[in-house]
Structure formats: C-alpha cells, structure tokens
Amino acid sequence: MANGMLSRRGLLTRGAALIGCSAAAHPLMSTVTFASAPWEERLVVLILRGGMDGLDVVRPVGDPAYGELRRTMLDSKKAEAGLPLDGYFEMHPDLAPLAPLWQAGQLGFAHAVSTPYRNKRSHFDGQDILEAGTGLDVPDETRRDGWLNRMLQTVGGMESETAFAIGRDELKVLQGKAPVFNWSPDAALTVTPQSRLLLEKIYHEDALFRDAALEAIDLAEMARPAGTDGAMTEAPKGNANSVTNLAAFAAERLTQETRIAAFSLNGWDTHRKQENAIRGALGDLSETILTLKKGLGPVWAKTTILAMTEFGRTVRENGSGGTDHGTGGAMLMAGGAIRGGRVFGKWPGLDDASLYEGRDLMPTADVRSYAAWAMRGMFGIDRTLLERDVFPGLDMGSDPGLLL
C-alpha cells in the first residue's frame, strides 16, 4: 500500500465519527488486494498461511518411500484414497471438486518448491520472505516491499484503483510504492446524501481529509447488494469474511478494470490430526477457485491463479497424527490461461539420502520462478526486470511452459 494511503487510513480513523461509521467498520482494511493495469490478463495470488503440506495435497504415491513415511495417516480409517493425476502423483480427495479443472487442463501443481528461506522454519519469517519475494541476502529495506507491488512499479499506465484488500489479514505481497486500495467485506457505513454534502463542505479546503473520507464511502458503496438504494447501512449477511465472499468480490472486480488480485487463506498449520485439520483448508481452497471461475465467466480464459505457501512440512508424521514445519512443498496453479493437467518440477525422491537435512522434502525449484514466468508470459515483463527488481537475486531458470 502506498504511503499516502497509510496516512489516509489514520486520518479516516480519527474522522470517522463525523460520518457515522466506526474505525472497525470502514473499508480500508486488508487481505485481498486488487490492481488495475494496461493489459487484459488477470493474475490472482493466494497466500496459503500456515505451511501447506504438499506431500498430502499432491501425494507422490509412485515413490516407494512415501507409503512408509505416511503409514499411519494413509492407513487411518478416515483416510480416503487420492485422486489419480498422472500415474505417479495423486490429488488429495478433498480437492475432488477441482477434478474437472484438472481434466480440462485448467489445474496444475508444482512440486518440490520453496522460497530461499531455510532452517528456522518460523511462520512469520517464512511468510515475510514469501511475500517479499527476496532472499535473506538483500537489504531490509528491499524486503519491506511485496513482489506484486514491485511488479506493478515496473510497468506504466497504473491507475488510481491499483489495489483493494478484503478482510483483516495484512498482505505484505502488495505493500510498496505502487498505489493499493483495500476493502473489507464487513464494511458498514451509514451516510445519507445530506451527510455526504455536509462532509464535502466541512473539508472543502482540506483535500486530504475530503478525498480520504469520500473514497471510503465510495468503496463501501461497491459492496452494497445489487438493487438497493441509498447508503449501505449494514454488513452483508452471513460470514462476511468467508472465502465465498472474498472470491466473489474478487471476481466482480476482475471482470471490470482490476487486473491483479491477492488474498490469503488460513488453516494450513497441521501439527495435530492432519487428516481432519487439512480438510477445511482444502475445502476453502476448492471453493475459492470455483467461486472465482463462476464469477469470472469468459474472463476465466485470461486468468492465472497461483496458490503459494511459506514452506512445506516434514516428510515423516509426528506423534500426534500431523506434520511439523518443513522446507520443500507444493504450489497450485489454476485458470483458463494455464497449461494444466500436469505436475511441474523435478521430483527429488524421498529416500533418506535425498531429504533436506534428513527430514524435509528437498527443494528442486524456487517457487518464485513460477510466479516470475507467469508474469513474463502474461504481462511481457523483461526477464532482467523480474530477476533484478521484482525478485532480487532470482535465477528464473528455463521456462516451465506454465501458460498456454
């Protein structure tokens, strides 16, 4: 988010009483961010917070070591067989709603990927590195910007509606100098036409207060259900932060002038009883993607979705039926613009000699390289800019052929 927006947010908080809204209800919050840009392709980035277990989501059943490493989880009475993908990998059964996308070539995975983060396995550090898109060898000030924001800074023609955020989680992936708007699905403003007129008169000579307050009203009105008149006086019914609401609003914006969207999905930290814990997260992920597909309509054909997590999990189960923080993992990609129906990447194997530090899946590719190649193919950004400015220090390697 641009520094100007940050200052506006603070000013709105102090001036909110004048227009009858609380600081908690005003729409300048966080989680889903959108950006408009001078191209037709759409990019959606999903941050899967908690460390998704790629070995459970995309199961390497063709590796002879896998069954032994995950014996208890696979033999559980509650365990269901995976869905065959390519003869070597199977997809977790709770991603079954996405099976038609796989068959249509609109769903794919990359395995044995990671960020440059190693050894400490902290959620906070791992997510910071993932969203900054840097290694640990770059200056701290570089890591303050998110890689999506730096990408926006490399292209011209950015409009004022560069980004929105839905929900309450902080999204560092879009923080930076490029302008970013934020929106919360539980925004609630009560503003009559008379109140708006009064507000304009009070702040007529103070452009910063005036524009910030009116911007908040305009964003809240975007959330008003179709067919209603006047000011929005209550939040949407149901769980305003549900993945359906987040994805539906994202799709609505993406069918208009927005071209970039990013939001986070939680629930991937599966230390205990993973077979139960991961099901809700996989259900949310499936629902998010299918809601986007439905809402995007014909725009789906121009859309790429990248779902990324801060690190993978240990190859061996722990004593409580879960897995601990690891290194190599998997990412998911979907959309009508991708060349799916494939598991990308070089498989390192799960024998003891092939593991990272004897406990984790060995990374064979940088997760940032897939994002870089997606942006290269979608937006035509020069490779030098991607490796130097967007992802400092990245070697993109050879083109994996991610896009059609």
221-237, pLDDT tens digit by residue? Answer: 554 444 333 333 333 34
Q: Are both 80 and 126 inside the same structural domain?
A: yes
- pLDDT band per the 50, 70, 90 thresholds, residue 310: very high
Q: Are both 199 and 286 inside the same structural domain?
A: no
8 A C-beta contact, residue 310 and residue 129: yes
- Residue 52 lies inside a defined structural domain of this protein: yes
Of 14, 373, 18, the residue nearest 190 (C-alpha): 18
Q: Are both 101 and 153 inside the same structural domain?
A: yes
Tokens representing 76 are: 């559980």
Q: What was the pLDDT predicted at 175?
A: 85
- Residue 180 lies inside a defined structural domain of this protein: no
Tokens representing 5 are: 């927006």
Q: Are both 255 and 196 inside the same structural domain?
A: no
Q: Are both 98 and 169 inside the same structural domain?
A: yes
Q: Are both 51 and 63 inside the same structural domain?
A: yes
Q: Are both 246 and 260 inside the same structural domain?
A: yes
Q: How far is CA 206 from CA 7, 10, 11, 203, 217, in A?
A: 14, 15, 12, 5, 17
pLDDT beyond 70 at 293: yes
Q: Are both 62 and 160 inside the same structural domain?
A: yes
Q: How far is CA 87 from CA 65, 332, 363, in A?
A: 16, 18, 22
Tell me which residue range forms the domain holding 23.
Answer: 1-27+189-234
8 A C-beta contact, residue 380 and residue 403: no
How many structural domains is the chain composed of? 2
Q: Are both 221 and 72 inside the same structural domain?
A: no
- Residue 399 lies inside a defined structural domain of this protein: no
Q: Which CATH number fits the domain that encloses residue 53? A: 3.40.720
347-356, pLDDT tens digit by residue? Answer: 999 999 999 9
Q: Are both 65 and 151 inside the same structural domain?
A: yes
Distance from C-alpha of 368 to C-alpha of 385, rounded to nearest angstrom: 14
Q: What was the pLDDT predicted at 398?
A: 97
- Residue 335 lies inside a defined structural domain of this protein: yes
Q: Are both 285 and 376 inside the same structural domain?
A: yes
Give the pTM.
Answer: 0.80
178-200, pLDDT tens digit by residue? Answer: 876 666 655 555 556 666 666 66
Q: What was the pLDDT predicted at 337?
A: 98
Distance from C-alpha of 211 to C-alpha of 4, rounded to nearest angstrom: 12
